[in-house]
Structure 1
Amino acid sequence: MEEEAVETAEELLAKQHRKEKKELQAKIQSMKNAVPKNDKKRRKQLTEDIAKLEADLSQKHEEESMHLKSTVITKVEETINGVETLKVEDGEEEQFKQQRVSKAQRRRDKKAAQDKERETRIAEAEVQNLQGVRHQEGLKLAQKLAQQQLQIKEISSDGHCMYRAIEDQLAQRAKPELTMTMKELRSRTADHIRNHSDDFLPFLTNPNTGDMYTTDEFDKYCSDVEHTAAWGGQLELKALTQVLSLPIEVVQADSPNIKIGEEYDGEPITLVYMRHAYGLGEHYNSVERLKDPTNAEES
């Protein structure tokens, strides 16, 4: 009879846990739907918030399961010993448990206070961000891209963003002859600039003197393009259109789109140029086909 009662309690608890998980998933889905997919900062914060919600629920379920098991063990021992309560020798172990629970509660209270303070800071930052130039730039870009049935595809900000964005664009075409890695794109770009110095050297000047690059400076520039995370710009884009024999279109928020290599046929490679992305400033992203908002997020 005791065994049947234990099973019933476990089943009820498991049922409650399943219900709470389902409710949490519904809440998470609602949170996802409320945040624009191209708002990287809010998406990152959303991921952290979701992880915290899931961790809190998991901890709650674990504590409830442990409490149930503890209650069952206590009842079994009471039955075996024929007493109403489980005696603890000298009261030392019971006192230790009370102290441990007290410390655990203090830790939970401290964590709750820290979480509340963090949420307040996030809310304040979000209000500021809604009026910030980065947020406004993102909105304008989203509107421009939507007219072409496109949306931003985020690229990591590591100094290679322009090359990684082009790598992504080529991969989306599913044409093996066009596929290149970021390193291959850098190498091909550097080689092309080296081999066509008359076309590129006049546009490269020493920032301190304003004079055209010397031969050594030009060689170092090409080496940096190939071997470092040197940021790519319009000269490198020009070289890449010639390397790939494809046009490149750069979408900007507050200026007309830049088109490079219009002499080439084929579907243009489309990049998004952002002046105010992240704390580093300028950044390139890729694009992808605009997704149906109802299917963009799945739990």
Structure 2
Amino acid sequence: MEETLETIQARHRKEQRDLQSRITNKKKNATKKTRKGVNDECAELERQLRERQERELAVFNGEADGEEGDGGDAADGKEDDGTEAISTRLEDASLSDVTTAVTTKPTTEKHPQPQQPPAQQQQQPAGKKRNRQKERLARRAAEQEAAAEAAEAEAAGMTDHRSIEKTYLLREFEANDLVEKEIRPDGHCLFAAVADQLEQRRIPLLPVSEAGDSSPSSQPSAPQQQQPPPPYRAVRKRATDYMEAHPDDFAPFLDEPLSSYVPKIRDTAEWGGQLELAALANAYGVEIKVVQDGRTETIEPSTSGNGGAEEQPRERIWLAYYRHGYGLGEHYNSLRKKG
């Protein structure tokens, strides 16, 4: 049955939709390495379909002359047969066949390459299946490597605060004839460093009345005797006892009630700071020297808290304060006199 103009145009629209669908799928499955070849292939498919449809319309309208054939078929009166053959071949060709033709032969090639036998064509895969998990892992590794390089570049341009801090501290240690005693960075470092300083000067950590409770005569027999608490526990208790006895000196500087702050300092690994140093200086009646980056701070006991002890020479204890030297944050070490 001879096609009318409406049926030809309808068929052309369907062929264009089908071709566009194949092109979309092909581009969607393209990788970075195959994208250029896929784009060239799609352009070739569109060109072939457009030329064929134009020829069909020209034949239907009687505009094609005897010289517009395929391979000289028009000279033999076979123009319609050649057009029909081209249409049939393009409609029946699969996307993998066109891919093989375009990728193995440039568009400027004049002589066609010999086609492979059908059996050999069936053995070749249509395309390598994408490994999306491998692509994600590779992309993540590349992002991590780029982040590491950016961090290194940023670190190279940053001030080395740790080195500057250590240089100053070592200079102060030498000037004051001090050596550093490392304290474990476990949250108790301030109280453990003060305990080490007090023990070096034979200053009792607890008042005599409280220390008597732990005398050997009051302890259980050897099989039942428990390990004594670490010295920092006694220092924590002494600091909080003083804070509870002088609430007006500390409560205004807290963001929470003193009643909840004191148990936290006494019974947990909460870090100590400026308030605890002031409490310890008054509780033990000592002068505390804190060597830190750029300066040495002195914390002296107040007159009201010494009970007359200021008339006698005060003991002086030394601490080293690190802001940058430890990965967990701020830290205190004990500083002992040489020899």
User: Could you tell me the TM-score, scaled by structure 2's length?
Assistant: 0.42
Q: In terms of Rg, which structure is larger?
A: 2
**Structure with bigger RCO (C-alpha 8 Å, 6+ apart):** 1
The answer to which structure has the higher helix fraction is 1
User: Could you tell me the TM-score, scaled by structure 1's length?
Assistant: 0.47
